Structure 1
Amino acid sequence: MNQVSASHRLDPKLTIQIYQRYATNPADILQQPNEDEPTWRSRINPDSYPVASQTYKFLQSMGKYSESEWRKKFHHNIRTLNSKIQAGPEKVREKAKAYQNKHRAKAGTPGASAPTRDNSLAPQPLNTSVFNTSVFCLHLDKDVLAGGFMPAESESVCWRGDQGSELHFCLPYLPNAVGINDVEPANEYLKALMKTPFIERSNDHVVRMEPHEIPSSAVDLLDIIGNALAKNQVVHLVGFDQRFSQASSIPWSNAIIQARGVSEHRHITIHSLRDNIKYHQGTPSSECMRTYQSTVTAFLEGMKDHSRIEAVLSVNMQGLTFNDVLSDMNDLMLVSRNMEDQHRESAVKMAVVHLAWALLHQAGYLTLNHKDAGGDVSGTLLEQGCKIWTFYFRTHNHRSQHVTETIRLCNEALKPATLDNDNIKVVTIVLLPGDVHFQPPGMVHSVYTPVPSFMRGTSLWSYDTLHLTEISRRVESLRGNLVTNQDFSDVTLYNQLAAMLFGLSIKRNLCPQYRFFQSPLLALSAMLLNPYAYTNQTLNRQAWETKFHELPVYVEALRGASVLARGVLPHLPEAPPAPTYTLNHPQYKLALRRYESSSQKLATSIRRHLDSVGVAERGVQIECSHLDEVIQDIRTA
């Protein structure tokens, strides 16, 4: 090893460079039988970084431990090194000097005194979070090129994390007839995003947990996830599913699709990156085929076709979920299984109670800025590949500004200048096989897929996040075709919300410890009392009236939402009695429209109240006995 000063030997950044090489495959660290120590040191440190001798001892001792024990020790060392970096170079030099004096004293060096213990030199705790991570270095660029998934002309780049990790990957490359890269705007946008390091520890916007930090209690885990989502935070569970956490990001295997029951003959909708880029640059939709119908077989055959980069954004997996514990977050599923009133069951029967899907991407696909349609919570499990997931948090706290900024973010996708805005906080996470993530309703995001990937996901409804659902539905009513990646039926969504209203008593009885808050319940009332405010404003009002008036539970949902709103916020105006005419009575339609008008006025008052509180504020907790009285009034209304 190079003879260098102690201060250099203890430089934590240089030591991290050694760890980065072997974070994903610790077995490669071990000294082989045919290697002497100098040869082994040269192999694991080919750049001859000046590092401490104890670093080599630590790496050499790994053969004595199981992989789980090794990773635990590895995480501890990384936290210590990151703490040294956090403390700054001055303390590192002081520590190095103490280290040098200690060994001089042991050797009997003249003039050297035994070092005294200095607690100020101990590793300093990280201030931002109790959650920390290991450092890794993934060279997906070499792997994806070696696998033939992208052309050799693809540009290799490195995205760094906020704790020193590195992710090397290729940018998309689709040359046209004259050799110009048709998807260069995507590359420029990705380079702009790369200026901000990806997140490797929790902060104000992301709750990130390593495997050893995830609670063993399902109740505790769901409580953490629910509270984070209610505060408009993203949740990232690293290596949550051990079946996939040890899987390599590549090479790609079709077997994983077959194992999930996806037939290769299934018809699917394929999205084209080249045509989506053209569309966002102003090319008329008639001149670019953004989507086309094909089969899973044809899509898989195109994995190594360098003339196209494509993705399937929705492979229907209805009825399946990626984890039974996490599926318990779906309040709509809970209430639908236990709906007591046969009449109100019609709302459940007309609602999609559990939407499960899969994402299938070729290497190099960039999913542009969008929010998920419908206003529910989205959760994913990555089974194969890698995802670079970027979120765009709106930092202002007013709901109308939130709506405006959401539309602008989606409208100006691919424009790096959009990111230079004080109202936006760009946050990126890296998802690897076995990772699970949840994002709150209405979260604008973009996703880059550097290697062929298969991901399963679920869309679910939660009483915790209905105040965010209301904002998401406002956005869709204005520009639904622009901000979402697919459309859902507004009538189906209304039935889902009605089922949530009728299921309040079920949730209360089955989960007595659950806490209800003011803003989510008011948001639920507002969306039910005036459904027209949350539908596509470009469509004919009379057509919408016909759709809603035909719903068996429509009048009952209006009446129940009115009771809920006044029970939560007593100063709201009281709605007149619901129409009592039969459906075929000549006065029924007139009476219903009058009742709708009063309900819409009540919804307007609720929206004013919601606009007076912060976007992610749930308001006060509703006292249990009072809530039970309100629920009883809804049942008898």
Structure 2
Amino acid sequence: MPKRTIEDSEQGLSKAATYKRQSRARLDEEGRQREKENNKLAARAYRLRKKLAQQGQAAEPGPSGSSQAASGADVPPLPPVPTAESTSPAQRVGDASATEPTSGELVPPPPLPPPRLPSPPPPPAPPLDSTSEAPQLADTNPTEPAFHEDSLPPPPSPGPPSQSNSAMPTRLDLVEGVLGVQVSQGSKTIEWKDGPKTVLPYLPVLGKGKVVNALQVDRAYVNDLARLPGSMLGSNNMAYVPKSTERKALVSQIRDHLAEGRTVVLRDYGNVDDFDFSLKGLLEEFGCFPDRIIQAHDMRKRASDPAHPHVQVTVGEFMKGVTDTTQARVALDFPLSQMGLPDPLHKLDDGISVGFNQTHHVVDVDGSDLPPDTFLVGSWGLLHQAAIMTYPHHDAEGACTWVMPYNGCKIWTCIKVKTRFDRKELATFLAKLANRENSMSGFGDDVECETAYLYPGDLAIMPPGQMHAVYTPTASFCRGGHFFSYDALHLTEQSRHIDKLKGRYVTNQQHRGTLETLSRMVIALPIISESKALYKRSIVALCGMVVYDGEYRSQQTKRQKSDCHEQAKTMAMKVLSHLGITTPTDYFKFMEDPEVDRSFKGESLSVYDLLTEFRSFD
């Protein structure tokens, strides 16, 4: 080849390399400018959300019974929005083709949608039984939204909004300080439908000569969950109640919401600013010593053997593992019995404040064989490493449940079954819902899901039987507890009956002190003055759970015992007889009436005069 031709080729290659470098630099600069503009849009969107929340707080209350009133917050009227029936499944769970950013890009947050109005009653569902085939579910590993492999500068991270009834997430970056620190650098990240960006479950293991993700099933499930809609003000499934509400009204509103099956959220309710997520912080705040033995669930073990994920560790060992990216654990058995609901919400706990406090001279606890968890269930802690997926379940024994993060974040998805099943069908459906192999989006119009982002100090209170899934994207400590409410016992009854049918699939840890608590709540009925409202379906449910207690024994558990059960049973039978319920058939026909909404607590009822004879305890 002539020399001139070789030189020309070398010059051509040099020019091509220069052009490539210039093109890459230009693209990088365009990317930085686009990122800067998107961060500005994110900040602007947040300010708009905050302004709307403030306007909603300042507006006049809507008419009684409206969706605004149901939310527990005063919001301005909004135009009608499409119902679940008028939107396609892709619109309900997020059309990935329409909303996903391309790899490496940031997109502006979606415009603030108006509150969803309650959906009309769904059509009857075909019957299911214990042998029914699983519903035709969507692919359990759908196409993932775009992941961002590279660490991007976080969008503005403003503090929590000043109004405590905001439903919007207040922190949009939950990756910084987690990726490469609490979770392996090999983890992907995902942007949730309402804005937050988190890591996905990832635990590297060596398989067939290459590194694979031991938590691939968890990752696919979280990916699907991230497409679901967030909770909005005006929701009929979640109520955002301002923490500034007058104390008596606050307790009353929460009681009503729980009785009607709504989860209640109070933003920034607890003062947890001084909490230090460390061994020292756990010792100073809760008296948890480093050598305290706890039982943890190991996600690596759960992936291969879901029924046996348990490991025994000390608090000190667990906390050392928070930054060990080769393990993923969560401690659920963490009693904090010295604590309870923050004031004045402790009044919601009728099992303790009425059931035990008002009857200790009627039925002496001295010498009685009370299970320890009768009182331990009232306050406990949850200790999580990062990127832990807790699959759909409802909490055992039909108790109300409250939780409050002290650091990090909880992504709390509440699941409402919209289709009207009978109890056997419902139990079968919930067992399928709890199966980790079934993606949430695959259930379509049978369920309605809403996600709340709980940050330090936020308080969430769930009604009995609330199906929920929780993703914990950052290592965190969360405090919570269980309690019983006279107003919500009709939901307690339904939840406990489902536990009898499918408890091994749909619930978590069992509790042994429920019968004792419910029995004392019956014994307290003659003491309760008429100033405290009681409701027919809830009281019938309470009495039925005491009289027919064998019908509420969860799967794989022994029959509970109570020293005061027989005394309570006599009172309960008199109440039921007074209401025309004298047989088990009468009772279950009343509780399962298909014409009555399951969340209806019933008409006002007074049993004060009826039980006069029991007011003398000689």
- 1:35-46 paired onto structure 2 within 5 Å: 46=36
Cα separation, partners in 2 of 1:493 and 1:604, compared to 1, 3 Å: farther
Which piece of structure 1 moves more, 297-306 or 417-426?
Answer: 417-426
- How far the C-alpha of 1:73 sits from its partner, in A, is 6.0
Which residue identity does 2:564 align to in structure 1? V
1:222 aligns with 2:251: yes
Q: Contact 2:396–2:508 (CA<8 Å) still a contact in 1?
A: yes
Query: What is the CA–CA distance in structure 1 between the aligned matches of 2:39 and 2:450, rounded to whole Å?
Result: 32
Q: Which aligned pairs between 1:197-236 and structure 2 lie closer than 5 A? A: 197-209=229-241, 213-236=242-265
SS of 1:139 mapped into structure 2: coil
Q: CA deviation at 1:303?
A: 0.8
Query: For 1:329 and 1:301, how far apart are their aligned partners in 2?
Result: 37
1:480 matched residue in structure 2? 503
Once residues 55 and 536 of structure 2 are traced to their aligned partners in structure 1, the CA distance between those partners, rounded to angstroms, is 45
The DSSP-based 3-state class of the residue aligned with 2:540 is helix
Q: Deviations over 1:561-596 (max 9, x none)?
A: 1012123x2x223xxxxxxxxxxxxxxxxxxxxxxx
Partners of 2:369 and 2:485 in 1: CA distance: 18
> Within 2, Cα distance between the matches of 1:156 and 1:360?
22
| 1:275 CA displacement | 2.1
Find the aligned partners of 1:635 and 1:557 in 2 and give their Cα distance.
13
Partner of 2:131: none
Name the residue aligned to 2:345: 326
Alignment of 1:441-456 (within 5 A): 441-456=464-479
Instruction: Tell me whether 1:495 sits opposite 2:516 in the alignment.
Output: yes
Contact 1:322 1:381 (C-alpha < 8 Å) held by counterparts = no
Aligned with 2:547 (options 524, 529, 536): 529
Map of 2:175 onto structure 1? 141
Match of residue 191, structure 1, among 212, 215, 223: 223
Percent identical among aligned pairs is: 23
Residues 338 and 192 (structure 1), Cα distance of their counterparts in 2 relative to 1, 3 Å cut: same
2:302 aligns with 276
Aligned residue for 2:219, secondary structure, equals: helix
- Equivalent position SS for 2:604: coil
Give runs of aligned pairs for residues 576-595 of structure 1, distance below 5 A: none
Tell me the secondary structure at the aligned position of residue 296 of structure 2. strand
- After TM superposition, list the pairs within 5 Å mapping 1:25-174 onto structure 2: 46-47=36-37, 75-76=53-54, 132-133=166-167, 136-145=170-179, 148-161=181-194, 166-174=195-203
**CA offsets, 1:216-271, max 9 Å, x none?**
42110111111111011100111112444x98xxx954443122111111000010
Distance 1:125 1:141 in 2: 28
Q: Residues of 1 paired with 2:327 and 2:321: CA distance?
A: 8
Counterpart CA distance in 1 for 2:114 and 2:326 is 50
Which consecutive unaligned segments of at least 5 residues does structure 1 have? 1-41, 60-69, 89-122, 574-601
Query: Structure 2: how far apart are the matches of 1:262 and 1:128?
Result: 45
Corresponding residue number in structure 1 for 2:359: 339
Residue of structure 2 aligned with 1:606, choices 587, 600, 607? 587
State the Cα deviation string for residues 35-87 of structure 1 (Å, max 9, x = none): xxxxxxx9999328898xxx89x99xxxxxxxxxx99868548999x999979
1:371 and 1:484 in contact (8 A); partners too: yes
Check if 1:264 corresponds to 2:293.
no
- Aligned twin of 2:136: none
| CA distance in 2: counterparts of 1:515 and 1:205, whole angstroms | 24
Give the conservation status (yes or no) of the 8 Å contact 2:215–2:300: yes
Q: Which has the higher helix share?
A: 1
Which residue does 1:628 correspond to in 2?
Answer: 608
CA distance 1:345–1:562, shift in 2 (3 Å): farther
Do the aligned partners of residues 133 and 409 (structure 1) sit closer, same or farther apart at CA in structure 2, a change above 3 Å counting? closer
Q: Structure 1, residues 435-464: CA drift from partner, whole Å, max 9, x if none? A: 000001111211111001101111111101
- Is the Cα contact below 8 Å between 2:268 and 2:459 reproduced in 1? yes
Q: Comparing both chains, which one has the higher relative contact order based on Cα–Cα distances under 8 Å and sequence gaps of 6 or more? A: 2
Q: Residue 293 of structure 1: SS of its match in structure 2?
A: strand
How many aligned residue pairs are there? Answer: 482
TM (norm. structure 1) is 0.68
Residue 563 of structure 2 aligns with an amino acid whose one-letter code is P
Give the TM-score, by structure 2 length.
0.70
1:84–1:124 Cα contact (<8 Å) kept? no
Q: What corresponds to 2:66 in structure 1?
A: none
> What is the distance in 1 between the residues matched to 2:114 and 2:206?
56
CA distance in 2, matches of 1:349, 1:440: 29
CA-to-partner distance for each residue in 1:100-149, whole Å, 9 max, x for gaps?
xxxxxxxxxxxxxxxxxxxxxxx999685996555645211123126x11
Q: Measure the CA separation in 2 of the matches of 1:218 and 1:348.
A: 36
Correspondence for 1:34: none
Describe the shift of the 1:375–1:134 C-alpha distance in structure 2 as closer, same or farther (beyond 3 A): closer
**Residue 403 (structure 1) shift:** 3.0
- Superposition deviation, residue 481 in structure 1: 2.8
Does the residue aligned with 2:501 lie in a helix, a strand or coil?
A: helix
Aligned to 1:590: none
Cα 1:191/1:77, change in 2 over 3 Å:
same
The separation in 2 between residues aligned to 1:49 and 1:373, in whole angstroms, is 43
- Take 1:263 and 1:125, find their aligned partners in 2: how far apart are those partners? 47
Amino acid at match of 2:515: Y
**Structure 1 residue 374 corresponds to structure 2 residue 374:** no
| Whole-angstrom CA distance in 1 between matches of 2:460 and 2:228 | 20
SS at match of 1:427: strand
Q: CA deviation at 1:488?
A: 1.7
Q: Distance between the aligned counterparts of 1:474 and 1:629, measured in 2? A: 30
Q: Which moved more, 1:314-323 or 1:392-401?
A: 392-401
* CA-CA distance at 1:195 after TM superposition: 1.6
Task: Report the alpha carbon displacement of residue 374 of structure 1 after superposing the two structures with TM.
Answer: 1.8
Aligned to 1:293, which of 304, 312, 324? 312
Q: What is aligned with 2:487?
A: 464
- What is the deviation of 1:476? 1.7
**In structure 2, what is the equivalent of residue 239 of structure 1?**
268
Aligned to 2:388: 365
Counterpart amino acid of residue 219 in structure 1: K
**Alpha-carbon separation, structure 1, partners of 2:51 and 2:332:** 39
Query: Amino acid of the residue matched to residue 464 of structure 2?
Result: P
Residues 428 and 502 of structure 2 are in contact (CA less than 8 Å); yes or no, is this contact kept in structure 1? no
Aligned to 2:192, the other structure's residue is in SS state strand
1:572 aligns with 2:601: no
The 10-residue stretch of structure 1 (389-398 or 524-533) with the greater mean CA deviation from structure 2 = 389-398
Residue 558 of structure 1, CA deviation: 1.9
The residue that corresponds to 1:556 in the other structure is 567
- What residue identity is the alignment partner of 1:238? R
Local SS of the residue matching 2:597: coil
Q: 1:348 to 1:78 in 2, by over 3 A?
A: same
- 2:264–2:460 Cα contact (<8 Å) kept: yes
Kindly tell me: are residues 214 and 458 of structure 1, through their superposed partners in 2, closer, same or farther at Cα, counting changes over 3 Å?
A: same
